[in-house]
Structures are given as structure tokens and as C-alpha cells.
Amino acid sequence: MTSLPQSHASLLNQAHVFLMDMALDSRFKMDACNLDARVEQIALEIARTGTYEHTAQELEFGVQWAWRNSNRCIGRHMWRSLKVLDGRGTKDRAGVVQALKEHLDHAWQDGAIQSVITVFPPRKRGNVSHPDPVRIANHQLLRYAGFKQSDGSILGDPHSVDFTRRMLSMGWNPKQRTAHTPLPWSIWIDDVEQAPVDHFAHHPGQFPEVDITHPDHPAIDALGLRWYAIPVISEMALVIGGITYPCAPFNGWYMGTEIAARNFCDPQRYDLLERIGEALGLDTSSTRNLWKDQALITINQAVLHSFDAAGIRMGDHHELGAQFERFCQIENKAGRGVNGDWSWLTSPISGSITPQFHRTFDNTVEAHTNFFYQSSPAEDAAARQSTRESISTGRNADPFHLEAHHETPRCPFGFDRLSEVLTRRPKAWRKAANQS
Ligand code: ARG
């Protein structure tokens, strides 16, 4: 083992730490013997092939553990309920579309939304210029387009403007352009951008939406607001035991504030606060009367009310805040820490009346198994192309630092602290390293 090159040794180390975490989960019935045998097997596989393949159980635990380790997520006390769909054999555009269709079917459950993740093939290791087999460029699988108008204004979601422009330039031809036009899917196979897939134009039933109404304020109904039911993040990289899966779309269900406070009222998003205030007949001439706060609470009530009336699962910040707090307490009592990012875990409305506000969190990122931001498929493909050129001209560019310490694409919340993992080396491994 001590003769493994540094990158192999680092991968084995991450696999080992991951398996030690897995062995502590009684559902998987791994004793010390099983653990050692599996690590030994993985060491041989890495020595032979430069990588290793997860078993079905490792994939199941891995996605759940990656969710549990996601410092910014307030819903991860439910991590054991995440269901995995294995898409590692998917190779082409049609296969990806079929897998995403199945994903949405599994997730929807007639509104009783189930958390699901589909895992597409892992990134090939060893050769930085090797393309990723499957990538999805969309931020989420369900999302509204943002059309920049000739007068500079934006129709739809400003967050989607660049992506929408790219889809149009790739031949997307939406039937109509509204504030709520579902975006097509941008699938990349082996670094090649495929023609946009306008899935929802043909399967509108897979894009469930809710019209936003308020039980006491018909003026809110008249604003004609709506939002889709299932948030499916599709651009992040999943890392399990050091193996990167650059395409692994996952969904949970919404917490009301995400839609009502952030998507509707953030100034860089639909920016509706003033319109809501005016619709409610509030005096918006000064902030002193707290009309903004009143409008914000009212639209949050409306979103929760509308999802409830439609029978679609949605959390609220009181319920989820209390559940997450209980989770932290149970975990702490059992000697397991729960790391977290305070600014994300604390609700964007009424922060101080949720438990998270009154806690501090250690924001150290568990790097061996987690979800990470990454550069877009277009950026990655371009970087790989330039790497290929520089390799052929004899320069050693490594845009992803894959062979150094950074197996994972950039992560704005501290992935570079790989040392955190390295200090958690398994004992046997440390001994072997010291002897070398
Ligand atoms: N905040 C994002 C949105 O509003 C969704 C992020 C994931 N949220 C979730 N509840 N799983 O679309």
C-alpha cells in the first residue's frame, strides 16, 4: 500500500474514512472484519485501475451521508430517507432523459414528495483531459426561463437569463414566453452539448405547479403568482469516499420561505415586495411602518396556504427549525457533531424565533463525502480542451487540480480544507504511512 502514488493514496484514504462512517450505521451490518476486507479490496482495485467502484449499499449510504454532511441544509435530519436511483450505466441523451423522467415520477408521489437522487457515471480519474460521461447544465430540473426583453427588462426569473439565452441559441423554440415558461434540459455527453430537451412541453404533467392565493387577501390571488412543486438541484457534484459524480440530480421538498421570501422577494429575483405591498393597500412611502415585513409575512402565508390546499408537501421554518434542533441535540448526545452554516440554516424571515438563530455552528466541510458546487459543463469542457492542448505541447496544466489535493471541483464553502480529512486518517493507515 505504501507504494501507491500520492493521488491513489489520497483516494484510498478517503474511501477508508467513508467506510468507517458507514460501519457505524447499524443498517449496513459491517463489522471490523468486513471493513478491513473491503478496504483491502479497494486498495487492490485502486492499484490496478486508479479508481474503485461503489457497491449498491455504498452508493445508498453514500448519498445519504453526503446529504447529512451538507452544512447548508435545514432538512437533512431526514437523511436516511433519501432514495437512490442508480444511473451509473447511462451513456446517452435518451438514457438521461428516461432516467430524469423516472426520477420525477418517483419524487412526485401525487404531492407527497419523496426525496430522490439519481446518480450518473462517476468522473474518470487519472487523466484530467478525460470528459465527464454525463452532465446537466441546468441549475434545477424544474425552473422558469428568464427572457431579456428589448427594453432591458426581464420576463420570468432573472436567475435564468444567461442559461435561457444559451438554450435559445442552441435552438430552443418555446411555444410562448411568459413569466413561468419551463426551461428545457441541457444535457452534455462526453463534453458535447446536446440539443435542448424541451421535456415539459411534451410532459406538462411532470411540471406540477401551484397558483398562489391567500385565504384572506384576494388581492394576492390577483397577482397571478405561481411556483413549481419540486426543487431538483441538478448542477452540483456529489462526492462519496473520494469518488466524484459530476451529475447526480437530487430533490427534496420546499420550505415555504425559499419561494415566498427569496424567489419572490429577493431584489435580484422576481422582486415583488413592492407590488405585494401595494396590492395589500399598505402605505409604502416609508419603511418605518414595516410594510415590507407585513408584505413578506403575508406572501409567506399565501405560499404555505396554497401548497397545503393543493395537497403538496411543503415545510415551514418553524417546523423544520424545531426538527433540525432536535436532530442536533440527539446527535450531540450521541457524540456526533452536526456541522452547519449559520447564515443558511437560519430562516430568511423571523430568524430569531427559530432555534438556529441562537446557536453557533462549526462550518467545517466534510470533504470525503458531500455535495459541491462545480464549474459549468461548458467551462469544464473548455478547460479540458486547453489541457489537452497544453499536454500535447508539453505543458502540465491541471485546471481541476485533480492530481494534487483537490479531487473535487471548487467549492466556495471551504473544500480546500482537505487537511480536515487527512487528519482523520485511519490508525492502521497512519502506521503504514509512518513506516514508509
Ligand atoms: N432554494 C431553491 C429554490 O428556491 C431550492 C434549493 C433546494 N431546496 C430544497 N427544499 N430541497 O428553488
Question: What sections of 311-426 are H helices per DSSP?
Answer: 317-333, 342-345, 377-392, 419-422
What is the Cα–Cα distance from 370 to 15, expressed in whole angstroms? 13
Of the residues 226, 258, 313, which should be mutated to test ligand 1's pocket, given the most ligand atoms within 8 Å of the CB?
A: 258
Is the CB–ligand 1 distance for residue 254 below 6 Å? Answer: yes
What is the Cα–Cα distance from 231 to 195, expressed in whole angstroms? 23
Is the CB–ligand 1 distance for residue 78 below 6 Å? Answer: no
Q: Give every residue of the chain whose pLDDT is below 50, as ranges.
A: 1, 394-423, 425, 428-436
- Residue 205 Cα to ligand 1 midpoint, Å, equals 20
In this prediction, residue 399 carries a pLDDT of: 42
Q: Which helix (H) or strand (E) holds 289?
A: none
Residues in contact with 218: Cβ distance below 8 Å, sequence separation at least 6, in sequence order: none
Is the CB–ligand 1 distance for residue 255 below 6 Å? Answer: yes
What is the Cα–Cα distance from 265 to 366, expressed in whole angstroms? 32
Residue with CA nearest ligand 1 atom 4:
258
Is the CB–ligand 1 distance for residue 231 below 6 Å? Answer: yes
Residue with CA nearest ligand 1 atom 3:
258
Give the pTM: 0.91
Is the CB–ligand 1 distance for residue 252 below 6 Å? Answer: yes
In this prediction, residue 2 carries a pLDDT of: 52
Is the CB–ligand 1 distance for residue 236 below 6 Å? Answer: no
Q: Which of 73, 265, 328, 411 is catalytic?
A: 73
Do residues 85 and 117 touch, judged by C-beta distance below 8 A? yes
In this prediction, residue 4 carries a pLDDT of: 79
Asked about 76 being catalytic, the answer comes back as yes
Asked about 253 being catalytic, the answer comes back as yes
- Residue 313 Cα to ligand 1 midpoint, Å, equals 13
CB burial of residue 43 (10 Å; 0-12, 13-18, 19+): buried
Residue with CA nearest ligand 1 atom 5:
231
Residue with CA nearest ligand 1 atom 1:
258
Quick one: which of 245, 235, 218, 203 has its CA closest to 408?
245
Q: Which of 76, 123, 125, 135 is catalytic?
A: 76
User: Which ligand 1 atom lies nearest to the CA of residue 143?
Assistant: 12
User: Which ligand 1 atom lies nearest to the CA of residue 262?
Assistant: 4
Q: Which helix (H) or strand (E) holds 98?
A: helix 93-108
User: Which ligand 1 atom lies nearest to the CA of residue 255?
Assistant: 10
Please state, in angstroms and as integers, the Cα–Cα distance from residue 70 to each residue in 94, 244, 363, 370, 373, following that order: 31, 16, 10, 6, 12
Residue with CA nearest ligand 1 atom 7:
231
Q: Which of 227, 253, 291, 429 is catalytic?
A: 253
Do residues 261 and 348 touch, judged by C-beta distance below 8 A? yes
Classify the C-alpha dihedral 158-179-148-139 as positive or negative.
Answer: positive
- Residue 371 Cα to ligand 1 midpoint, Å, equals 14
The secondary structure of residue 315, as a DSSP letter, is B
User: Which ligand 1 atom lies nearest to the CA of residue 252?
Assistant: 11
